[in-house]
Amino acid sequence: MTSTSQALSRILAAIAASAMLATGCATGVAAVSAQSAVAAQPAAASSVDYTQAMKSFTADASGDQLAYAVNGELKDVAYKDTPVGRHGKLSIGKAAGFSAPTVLDEHGQPFQLRGASTHGVQWFPQYINRDAFQSLRDEWGINMVRLALYPREGGYLQGSQAKMDAKIEEAVTAANELGMYVILDWHVLNYNPNEDAAKAEEFFTKYAAKYKNLKNVLYEIDNEPTSTSWYDGSGNDLYTYSKRLTKAIRATGNQSIVICGTNTWSQDVDAVAANPLSADGLTNVAYTLHFYAGTHYDNIKNKLRTALSAGTPVFVTEFGITDASGWGGIDIANANDWMTLLTRNNISYAAWSLCNKGEGASYLKESTSKTSKWTGSELSTSGIWLVNTSRRIQAMIDGASQSSGTDTDGSTTEPTTDPTPDPTPDPTPSEPSEPTNPIAPTEPTTPSEPQTTTTGLTAEAAVSSNWGMGANVNVTVNNPSDATYTGGWKVEFDLDGTITNLWCGKIVSHTGNHYVVSDASWNASIAPKHGTSFGFGMTKAPTSSALPANLTVNGVAADASQGASDGVSDGASDGASQESGAAESSKDSTDPKAPDTPKASDDQKASDDQKTDSSDSQSTDTKPADPKPAASDLTVEAKVNSNWMLGATVQVEVGNTTDTAHEGGWTVEFDLDGDITNLWNGTIASHKGNHYVITNASWNGTIWAKQNVTLGFTMSKSLFADAQPTNVIVR
């Protein structure tokens, strides 16, 4: 009894100490405590102490003020005191006190990975460097970095392989030296990963063999597959893909943790229990759940609870404190509720995203140019919240370790510095049945003599949503030529309103109603037959048009004859397309498409309760010449994904049931007992009364054989209104 009481007293003291750290900023003690917390690295807590501490945790982090010192200082930490030095190779297994299998360290004790996810490596490679990782380790409470390796969207399979291979090598080397864990994330976004399964198998076979002797590398085989059942017996489901990829990794002799994506942007983790990979003898496997606190509430939390009750090991490889678009809608209270749920169940996590993109989910302010050694004043709300959350969990665990006086590290050797070379030979996979890139042919990794141009850009502006007193507008700069455009771009226009926030560009000047916007440096180059976009939110008078006027790009006037899109009424939901001639030049032809609007429409990244990374970074043939498809080619289904008193999120799926690709675009019409406030993966062509007409976005007008595309929206409505669209048709 005395021993139990003493143990409980130690835990309570540890929790109190962590609480003092979390609030110490106001009392002046945080700076001293925070600076010593990482360097001290006490021995690991016993399993009992660790579990009791985690089970008692309640998140209450602020996004307004740091509770810990972030001064940009790097610390000299011996390898044996680093996360990998203390915890070694990880596995998935059962631990007392937790209902589902969870991450265990080399000593068989539960262990939580606290991670930072990069943005797309092809767009923000500068943040993959040793000092950045060390800053996260030493001052942010982070012990793992996730590399977002897009196969498509101009990524690994579409022209950026050489650059991304180099960054993988740099990242793994840095993490290995720093004693941090790293996830190689095959960042599938919004499609069936079986389409590129052969290429994915080639990728993971290569890297699983190369790093099989390292303790710190984990493998995420598909980020956010969508409209693909976990298991349906078709042989084209996520179970089939996950089994194939996991077996390929194991065939190299690599036994590290494999993380499998789930359907609906990795939200349907509750579907795994009926057919887990363990039934095929595949172990050390976890399953993803993604959430964004401004969109995902009890409906997704209950999916997590169901999965845990069924014994499904869950890993949150991506989340944010914003809404699903990644841009706004921050909900700190719900983010803290999510983090309480994760920590009490020892669920590892990685937060989106390490960059200065300017969206709400980015850790760094847009004005922050540094790529490491950040100070507190350079962090966004998301960055501040992440530091406060991760450091408090770290302090709690370290406090429990100090109280227990236990040491479970055992002997530790220095990290392996010479990984096993690439497998010889690599398997020769068959080509995927569907084209790797449905929008444009795969570009060579390193063209011998790339063609460049500094002229010929066109531009178009479209209003994506209009609610009377405000609107969201997207402007796309296109390169229709066969050569890479280089040298940067500048768009000018007149606006009958005021821009309140702008992404993927920079306001150079604003005089009266005239705006000048330039590229954001990372999107200054535009690949052949591609485009890049920037967007903005604005305030205006109810009768004013939201559509930019007198649009020019690089000083050349647009063709006014383009006019407004069919069916668009001025002042409601405007849309227009304007073109101009000349242009100047840009930067790297291997980095043509950066995320263009919300980590959805990457990176608006949303749908239902979701996102769509870099949607506007796809091909920019915005109005295909082919005629609209016949109704018999397509099917349409609308469903309400979440519904609260005065609003809802709705998902609309357009499917192609034929054996041939459906080209030429699509149009969906429906009646809605409410107003759309935010739309992704489509464009509002017209809105009259309760009737909406929505057309495809520039990049998803083609639907491949037996495939589908999904659009989504949030809506406002009255208390008793039905959120379900009616009279839904597709043509």
pLDDT in tens, 261-291: 999 999 999 999 999 999 999 999 999 999 9
Scanning 150-266, the segments in alpha helix (DSSP H) are 161-178, 197-210, 238-251, 263-266
Average pLDDT of the segment spanning 394-423: 53
Indicate which residue of 220, 224, 492, 653 is catalytic.
Answer: 224
Do 97 and 53 contact (CB within 8 A), yes or no? Answer: no
Query: Does a structural domain hold residue 521?
Result: yes
DSSP 692: E
**In the predicted structure, residue 516 carries a pLDDT above the cut 70:** yes
Q: What is the four-CA torsion angle of 191, 196, 202, 208, rounded to 10 degrees? A: 10
* Tokens 């996950």, located at residue: 242
pLDDT in tens, 554-587: 988 865 333 333 333 333 333 333 333 222 222 2
**Residue 218 domain boundaries:** 2-404
Q: Are residues 667 and 720 in the same domain?
A: yes
What are the helix and strand counts (H, E) for the chain? 12, 31
Q: Are residues 586 and 620 in the same domain?
A: no
**Two tokens at 109?**
């004790």
Q: Are residues 389 and 480 in the same domain?
A: no
CATH number at residue 624: 2.60.40.290
**Catalytic (active site) residue 318:** yes
Q: Are residues 472 and 374 in the same domain?
A: no
* Tokens 């939901």, located at residue: 573
Indicate which residue of 318, 359, 460, 584 is catalytic.
Answer: 318
* Rounded Cα gap, residues 78 and 80, in angstroms: 5
Q: Are residues 154 and 8 in the same domain?
A: yes
**Catalytic (active site) residue 431:** no
Selection from 550, 547, 568, 548 nearest residue 559 by Cα: 550
* Rounded Cα gap, residues 271 and 290, in angstroms: 14
Query: Does a structural domain hold residue 256?
Result: yes
Q: Are residues 189 and 330 in the same domain?
A: yes
Beta bridge pairs of residue 606: 611
Q: Is the dihedral of CA 600, 604, 608, 609 positive or negative?
A: positive
Mean pLDDT of all residues belonging to the chain? 80
Distance from CA of residue 362 to its chain's centroid? 10
pLDDT in tens, 336-371: 999 999 999 999 999 999 999 989 999 999 999 999
* Rounded Cα gap, residues 29 and 384, in angstroms: 18
Domain boundary among 347, 371, 404: 404
Query: Does a structural domain hold residue 352?
Result: yes
Query: Does a structural domain hold residue 366?
Result: yes
Q: Which of 68-77, 129-138, 431-440, 524-533 has the weakest average pLDDT?
A: 431-440
pLDDT attached to residue 330: 94
Q: Are residues 639 and 719 in the same domain?
A: yes
* Rounded Cα gap, residues 623 and 346, in angstroms: 49
Domain boundary among 530, 562, 594: 594
Q: Is the dihedral of CA 617, 623, 624, 625 positive or negative?
A: negative
Query: Does a structural domain hold residue 432?
Result: no
Domain boundary among 594, 622, 650: 594
Query: Does a structural domain hold residue 261?
Result: yes
pLDDT in tens, 159-190: 999 999 999 999 999 999 999 999 999 999 99
Q: Are residues 706 and 574 in the same domain?
A: no
Do 136 and 115 contact (CB within 8 A), yes or no? Answer: no
Its pTM stands at 0.58
Q: Are residues 572 and 695 in the same domain?
A: no
Q: Are residues 367 and 264 in the same domain?
A: yes
Number of domains in the chain: 3
User: Residue by residue, what is the 3-state secondary structure of 13-62?
Assistant: HHHHHHHHHHHCCCCCCHHHHHHHHHHHCCCCCCHHHHHHHHHCCCCCCC
